[in-house]
Amino acid sequence: MPEEILSAEIALTRDGVVRGACPHDCPDTCAMLITVENGRAVRVAGDPDHPVTNGFLCAKVNRYVERTYHDDRLRTPMRRTGPKGSGQFEPITWDAALDEIATRLGEIARSEDGPQAILPYSYAGTMGLVQGSSMDHRFFHLLGASKLDRTICSMAGTIGMRMTVGANIGADGEGVPESDLVLLWGTNTLTANPHLWPFILKARERGTPIICIDPIQTRTAMQCDEWIPIRPGTDAALALGMMHVVFARGLEDKDYLERHTLGHEAMRERAAEWTPERTAAVTGLPMETIVSLGERFGRAKAAFIRVNYGLQRHAGGGMAVRTIACLPAVAGHWRRAGGGVQLSTSANFQFNRAALERPDLGPPVRTINMIRLGDALTLPDAGVGGPPVKAMIVYNSNPASVAPDRNAVLQGLAREDLFTVVLEHFQTDTADWADIVLPATTQLEHWDIHFAYGHHYVSLNRPAIAPIGEAKPNSEIFRLLAARMGMTNPIMQDDDLTLIRQALCSQLPKIQGVTMEGLLERGWMRLNVPTPYLPFADGVFSTPSGKCEFYSQRMAKMGLDPLPTYTPPYESVERDPELVARFPLTLISSPAHTFLNTTFVNLTSLRRQTKEPEVLLHPADAERRAIAVGAMVTVRNDRGAFLARARVEPTIREGVVWAPSIWWGKLAADGANANQTTSQRETDLGHGPVFYDNQVEVEMA
C-alpha cells in the first residue's frame, strides 16, 4: 500500500465510524464500531458482520464511552505527597515524572542490588500486543530487570492442554451448531464468554441438550437443560468416571484410539478404577448422574466440551484440564464439526511475538511468579533468590486487588523503600500505593492488534479519538523512558504501526494471508484455518509422540502421574481434614456479571446492578449459622477476612459459597475483598493460582 494512502487511512476522523477491537481479557475479543461526532466518541457497537461478535457487545463494554470520558480518568502524571497508600498526589509534568523514574531506576540498576531489583508487573488489562507485550518487554529486557511469570489466569489449563493434545488449541465454537451434546464445564458462559451463546442456541434448536457442570447454579446453569453441582476441584474424577462408563458400555471409538492416541490400554485400566461408586464419593454427585452423563457422552457423535478457566483454579487444575481433554479422543469426537474440547484457541495465533518482545536482548535473569507477589515484595530475596524487589512498574493490572493473599501484597506495597510506578486509566487500589502515577490511553485512543482465545479472528484497533488529557499509550511511555535512560538501541523507537507489521511478519502457516492492508480495510480477518476448524480430525497432534497422549512421558519427568488422575484440592478433607473442620465452606470468587476482573467496578451505571460485595450461601449453610437473608457477614480464614451482604438461595451446592468478584477494596465498606482470604499456593502444572481452592467460615458480622 503506497505510503500516502496509508497515512490518509490512519488519520483520525472527526466524524464517522471507526473500526476497533475490544481490548478486554475475555475469549470473545469483539470487533467494535465506534461512532465519532465532532472528534468525540458517542457510541460503541458490536460489528454485525463479525461472525462471533454478531452485532452485540456485553453489559460492560457497552459502557466503554462512559468509562473513557469518566470524570475520574487520570489526566496528568502525578507524584505522591502523602504517606504510602493514602492516595494523596499532586500533578506533575511528563518531563518531571520521566526524569524521576529514569533517575530512580538508574540508581537501583547501578547499585549493589542491580537491575534485577526492578520488577515489571503487568497482565491483561488490555490484551493488545502493542500495549501489552512489545515496547514494555523490550525495555525490561534491555534493562536486565527480573522477568515476570504471567500465571495468574490460565497457565495450569494451558499446560494441561499441552500435555494431552500438544498445544492450547481446541474445537471451534463456530462448529457448535452441529454438536449433539454441549457440556459447559466450569464456565459461566453468559457472563464470561457471552458470544458463544448464540451458537449454543442454534444447537439447542436441533434438540441438543445443554448441560452445565458447576458448583454454582450460575445464570448460565439456569439456562441449561441440566445443572450438575459438582464438588469443587473434583472434575478429573468426574471425567474419569465418564470414561469408565464409556468403556464399560463399549461406546469408545476403537479406530481413533488405536491410530491416534498413546497409552489407550493404560487409560482403559485407569478408567476401570473409577467406578460410579468411587466417582460419586469424590465428586459428591449421585451415581445416576455420572452414569447418565457417561452414557450420553459415549452415544453422542460430536459433543462440544467448553471448559474454561474456572475449574483449573484448584491444586489439581492442570491435571483436571488434561483429563477432560482426553474425553473427545476416547469417543472419537474430534473427527466431526462441533466435537471436541475448547479451553482456548490462542495458540493458533502465530504472530511473531519474538520480534515484538525481543527476549534475546539483555542478560539471563531470574523469574518471579506474579501470583507470589506478596512473597516477592516481603521476603529479602524476593522469595526466589537474588536481591529484594526495590522498584515495581505496574501496567495493565491491578495487583493490589487481584493478586492472591492480599494482606501480604499490601504489606509489600507499603514498604517505604519500594519505588512503585503505576500506569493507569484510574486511581485504582494499586495506584493508591504508587510513588508516581502515569495516565495511560484507553482503547479508543491508541493503536493495537489482537488475537483471541475463544475464536479464530485477528483484529486491528484504530484510535478513534485523541488522547484524553495528557494520557499516553503504554508503548509511547516505554519509548520515552528508554530515551531518558539512554537506551540507544533503535528498536526502542519503533512506532506502533511498525510494531503491528512486525507482529504479522511470520512464516508460520496459520497467519498467512492476514495482512496490514486487509486489517486496515476490514478491521478483522480470519486466520488461515477452515470454518469450522477441526484441529484433530486427522489425528495429528503436536505432542512429542504426535498422538493424543493419555500417557505422558513429560508428566512422568515432572514427577507427576503420567496418566490422568484425580488430585484433591489443597484445602480438602483428603489433604487437610483439620483445616476443613475449622473452615468448612469452599469460597469461589469468580467474576460478577457487570465487572471485568476489577475493570468497570468504578462505573456508576454498572454499580447500580452490583451495589456492594455479596456472598451467596445455600439455605442449609445459612441456617446452621443463623444467617438471615440480607445480613452483613464476615467471610474469613487464617489469611484474612472481608465483609459481604448475605444472599441465601438454593442455587449453590451445599458447602460452597460464592462472592462475585473482583471488588476494588477501597469501594467496599471495610476496604477489603475476596483476595484477603486466597493463598499464594500454586497449581500442579504451570505455577498457576488456586483462587477457588480456599476454605473459609462465614459468620454474622
Ligand X SMILES: Nc1nc2c(c(=O)[nH]1)N[C@H]1C(S)=C(S)[C@@H](COP(=O)(O)OP(=O)(O)OC[C@H]3O[C@@H](n4cnc5c(=O)[nH]c(N)nc54)[C@H](O)[C@@H]3O)O[C@H]1N2
Considering beta carbons, is residue 317 or 532 the nearer one to Mo ion?
Answer: 317
Closer Cβ to ligand X, 174 or 424, answer by number = 424
Q: Which does 596 bind (CB under 5 to 8 A by kind): Mo ion, ligand X, none?
A: ligand X
- Backbone torsions φ then ψ of 92, nearest 5 degrees: -135, 170
Closer to ligand X at the Cβ: 64 or 256?
64
Asked if 145 touches Mo ion (CB under 5 A), the answer is: no
For residue 675, the 8-state DSSP code is: G
Residue closer to ligand X, measured from CB, 134 or 261 = 134
Interaction between residue 153 and Mo ion (CB under 5 A): yes
Choosing among ligand X, Mo ion, none, which partner's interface includes residue 308 (Cβ < 5 to 8 Å by kind)?
A: ligand X
Residues touching Mo ion, count (CB under 5 A): 1
Q: Considering CB distances under 5 to 8 angstroms, the limit depending on partner class, which of ligand X, Mo ion, none binds residue 304? A: none
Work out how close the CB of 310 gets to Mo ion at its nearest, in angstroms, rounded to a whole number: 10
**Residue 454: closest CA among 170, 240, 264, 218:** 170
Residue number with the shortest CB distance to Mo ion?
A: 153
According to the binding rule CB under 5 A, does residue 685 interact with Mo ion? no
Q: Which C-beta is closer to Mo ion: that of 153 or that of 627?
A: 153
Residue 312 CA to residue 286 CA, distance in Å, equals 23
The rounded Cα 457 to chain-centroid distance in angstroms is 18
Residue 589 binds which one of Mo ion, ligand X, none, with CB within 5 to 8 A depending on kind?
ligand X
Q: How far is the CB of 39 from ligand X (least distance, A)?
A: 21
- DSSP 8-state symbol, 115: G
Virtual torsion, Cα 579, 583, 586, 592, nearest 10 deg: -130
Q: Write down the least CB distance from residue 158 to Mo ion, Å.
A: 12
Query: Residue 361 is placed in which grid cell?
Result: 536482548
How far is residue 695's CA from residue 243's CA, in Å, rounded to a whole number?
30
Beta bridge partners of 699: 634
The minimum distance between CB 457 and Mo ion, in angstroms, equals: 20
The entry of Mo ion, ligand X, none that residue 571 binds, CB within 5 to 8 Å by partner kind: none
H/E segment holding residue 608: none
Query: Which does residue 310 bind out of ligand X, Mo ion, none, counting CB within 5 to 8 angstroms by kind?
Result: ligand X
Answer yes or no: are the C-beta atoms of 408 and 378 closer than 8 Å. Answer: yes
Nearest CB to ligand X, comparing residues 543 and 572: 572
What is the smallest separation between the CB atom of 403 and Mo ion, expressed in angstroms?
13
Nearer to Mo ion, 153 or 460 (CB): 153
Interaction partner, residue 583 (Mo ion, ligand X, none; CB < 5-8 Å by kind): none
Q: Where does this chain touch Mo ion (CB under 5 A) — which range of 58-66, 149-157, 366-374, 472-480? A: 149-157
Q: Closer to ligand X at the Cβ: 543 or 694? A: 694
Of 165, 312, 132, residue with least CA distance to 688: 312
22 is in the binding site of which of Mo ion, ligand X, none (Cβ under 5 to 8 A by kind)?
none
**Whose CA is closest to 183, among 315, 288, 333?**
333
Under DSSP, is residue 497 helix (H, G, I), strand (E, B) or coil? helix
How far is residue 501 from each of residues 226, 233, 357, 539, measured CA to CA in Å? 47, 43, 13, 34
In the bound complex, what is the minimum distance in angstroms from residue 159's beta carbon to ligand X?
15
Tell me the closest approach of the beta carbon of residue 385 to ligand X, in angstroms. Answer: 26
Cβ closest to ligand X, residue 32 vs residue 440: 440
Distance of CA 299 to the CA centre of its chain: 33
Cell of 664: 476494588
| Binding positions for Mo ion, 629-648, rule CB under 5 A | none
Closest to ligand X by CB, 317 or 388: 317
What dihedral do alpha carbons 516, 520, 523, 526 form, nearest 10°? -30
Q: Nearest approach, Cβ of 153 to Mo ion (angstroms)?
A: 3
Contacted entry of Mo ion, ligand X, none for residue 171, CB cut-off 5 to 8 Å set by kind: none
From the list ligand X, Mo ion, none, pick the one residue 440 interacts with, judged by a Cβ distance below 5 to 8 Å according to partner type.
ligand X
CA dihedral 506, 509, 511, 512 (to 10 degrees): 90
Whether the CB-CB separation of 468 and 69 falls below 8 Å is answered with yes
Of 119, 116, 77, the residue nearest 95 (C-alpha): 77
Sort strands 40-46 and 181-185 into parallel, antiparallel or unpaired: unpaired
Nearest residue (CB) to ligand X, 68 versus 675: 675
| Cβ at position 366, least distance to ligand X in Å | 22
Shortest distance (Å) from residue 184 CB to ligand X: 9
- Where does this chain touch Mo ion (CB under 5 A) — which range of 114-122, 152-160, 275-283, 440-448? 152-160
Largest CA distance in the chain: 73
Distance CA 188, CA 210 (A): 13
Q: How many CA atoms lie within 13 A of 594 on its CB side?
A: 15
Applying CB under 5 A, does 182 fall inside the site for Mo ion? no
Residues that bind ligand X (CB under 6 A): 25-26, 123-126, 131, 152-153, 185-188, 191-192, 213-216, 218, 230, 232-233, 235, 308-311, 314, 395-398, 402, 423-426, 428, 440, 474, 588-591, 593, 595-599, 661-662, 674-675, 678, 691-692
CA–CA dist 571, 405 (Å, integer): 15
CB of 237 to ligand X, least distance (A): 11
C-alpha cell at 547: 498422538
The helices-and-strands tally (H runs, E runs) of the chain is: 28, 27
Nearest approach, Cβ of residue 694 and ligand X (Å): 8
Q: How far is CA 657 from CA 43, 312, 338, 525, 608, in A?
A: 38, 18, 34, 42, 23
CA angle 94, 98, 101 (to 5 degrees): 140
31 binds Mo ion per the rule CB under 5 A = no
What does the binding site for Mo ion look like in residue numbers (CB under 5 A)?
A: 153
